[in-house]
Amino acid sequence: MSYDAIQAETVTIGGHDGDRIEAYQARPLGPGPFGAVVVIHHLPGYDRESKETVRRFAAEGYLAVCPNLYSRQGAGMSHEEAAKLVRARDGGISDEQLIGDVTGAAAYLREQTSSNGKVGCIGFCSGGRQAFLAAANVDLDAAVDCYGAFVVGNPPADAPLRARGILDQAPNLRCPLLGLFGNDDQFPSPDEVATLEKELSRLGKPHEFHSYDGAGHAFFSVDRPMYRPEAALDGWSKILDFYGRNLN
């Protein structure tokens, strides 16, 4: 069910190590109960695109929240300044912090009076890798990885993201995983996607992957040249169907 009335606002939630961090939440103005989604922002930061995704989930009938993963390093900065600082100084946030911040966001959503107790997560680009990481370490009911790079393999030496491959986390996957990828992407490449799918199948982990011809990295991003409307529209339909089956 779609909701034409939603409430969206900036809130403070608990994060890793008990820190209080900024987050953006939206919820449908209805009685519920609603499933919920943690939106993990991409490396460019806690930006308008990420907040639009939060509002879209609310309009689709979900509680949603996007924790500002750069709250600690970039307090008082614009999202562009904070992202630049975190990339240059830290190469992104640590995996431990990500797990703690998503755990806090999921707990915040479950505490809402209109929650049905089920929480999923979604991430794009670096957030896709982090969604996979969260699915292996946080109590979640569904996870969506949108072209998450470096789940398989490590970044190039000159990449701004200091991360390692996390394929070794696959045995710990706690919930169904939806993966959406572009066949023209190199991060992750089609071969890396195939390696991940093969490993999940070997382990018997519930998953479904979809890859799109003519689409590369960031094909969901409407304000970028990489946007591919046909792939993005089909991808959104896959996301909503997946969450409908796992969160409602």
Indicate yes or no: pTM above 0.85: yes
**59: phi then psi, degrees, rounded to nearest 5:** -65, -25
Domains and CATH numbers, the chain: 6-247 (3.40.50.1820)
Question: What's the rounded mean pLDDT across residues 84-96?
Answer: 90
Amino acid at site 64: A
For residue 89, count other CB atoms closer than 10 A to its CB: 8
Bridge pairing between strands 63-67 and 177-182: unpaired
Bridge pairing between strands 115-124 and 142-146: parallel
Element (H, E) at 194: helix 190-203
Q: Judge residue 177's burial from the number of C-beta atoms within 10 Å of its C-beta, 0-12 exposed, 13-18 middle, 19 or more buried.
A: buried
Sign of CA dihedral 66, 105, 95, 70: positive
The reported pLDDT for the residue numbered 75 is 79
- Report helix angle 95-110 to 126-137, nearest 10: 70
Q: Would the pLDDT of 2 be above 80?
A: no
The reported pLDDT for the residue numbered 34 is 98
pLDDT one-digit tens code per residue, 120-169: 999 999 999 999 999 999 999 999 999 999 999 999 888 878 899 999 99
Instruction: Classify 236 in phi/psi space as left (phi over 0), alpha (psi -120 to 50) or beta.
Output: alpha
